[in-house]
């Protein structure tokens, strides 16, 4: 594990503490141009998520709709809060055609869940088996050979 990853882990409470946890829960409102472009504006404006921390699994509760989505890398589903299945897609990644293709609710469920699980587990997922990270050399934005000049307002 490189020094930058160690620093990031410590800033987030440390790997030892992380390994004691099983689930993270969060409330969110996810909006933006992507959802409108895909014909799904406001579908995630009031949600609560439960992410398993030891495996890719996330449940999204659509508040006020009596529905939830369940995500794993190989399957995404929509069901009532009582567990009645409404829609299911195996191998959901293969269902994407292009950015111009309209999305259905299962596309939204997969895309948002995949992203949210990653966001909620970074930087710790970088320590999972099979994950390799490498610290790159510092980057100086600007023209080659010209040091970046940073000024602060007076």
Total of domains in the chain:
1
Structure tokens at 14: 């440390």
Give domain status of residue 152, yes or no.
no
Give domain status of residue 29, yes or no.
yes
What is the residue whose two structure tokens read 């990644």? 93
**From its phi and psi, is residue 113 left (phi > 0), alpha (psi between -120 and 50) or beta?**
alpha
**Residues sharing a CB contact under 8 Å with residue 51, sequence separation 6 or more, in sequence order:** 23, 24, 25, 26, 57, 58, 116, 117, 120, 121
* pLDDT computed for residue 154 by the predictor: 56
Give domain status of residue 32, yes or no.
yes
First and final C-alpha spacing in the chain: 41
By residue count, the chain amounts to 154
Report the predicted TM-score, pTM, of the whole model to 2 decimal places: 0.81
Percentage of the residues of the chain whose pLDDT score is greater than 70 = 90
Give domain status of residue 74, yes or no.
yes
Structure tokens at 49: 């998520």
Give domain status of residue 148, yes or no.
no
Give domain status of residue 13, yes or no.
yes
* pLDDT computed for residue 132 by the predictor: 85
Give domain status of residue 149, yes or no.
no
Give domain status of residue 144, yes or no.
no
d(CA 78, CA 85): 6
Chunked mean pLDDT (size 10), the chain, 154 residues: 89 93 95 86 93 94 96 96 97 84 91 94 90 80 64 62
Radius of gyration of the chain measured on its C-alpha atoms: 19
Structural domain harbouring 105 = 3-127
| Average model confidence (pLDDT) across the chain | 89
């Amino acid at each position: 594990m490189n020094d930058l990853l160690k620093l990031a882990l410590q800033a987030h409470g440390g790997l030892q503490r992380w390994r004691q946890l099983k689930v993270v829960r969060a409330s969110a409102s996810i909006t933006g141009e992507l959802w409108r472009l895909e014909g799904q504006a406001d579908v995630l404006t009031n949600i609560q998520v439960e992410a398993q921390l030891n495996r890719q699994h996330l449940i999204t509760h659509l508040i006020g709709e009596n529905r939830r989505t369940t995500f794993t890398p190989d399957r995404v589903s929509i069901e009532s809060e009582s567990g009645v299945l409404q829609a299911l897609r195996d191998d959901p990644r293969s269902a994407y055609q292009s950015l111009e293709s309209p999305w259905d609710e299962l596309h939204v469920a997969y895309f948002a869940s995949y992203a949210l699980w990653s966001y909620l587990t970074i930087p710790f997922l970088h320590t999972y088996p099979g994950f390799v990270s490498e610290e790159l050399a510092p980057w100086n934005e600007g023209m080659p050979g010209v040091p970046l000049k940073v000024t602060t307002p007076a």
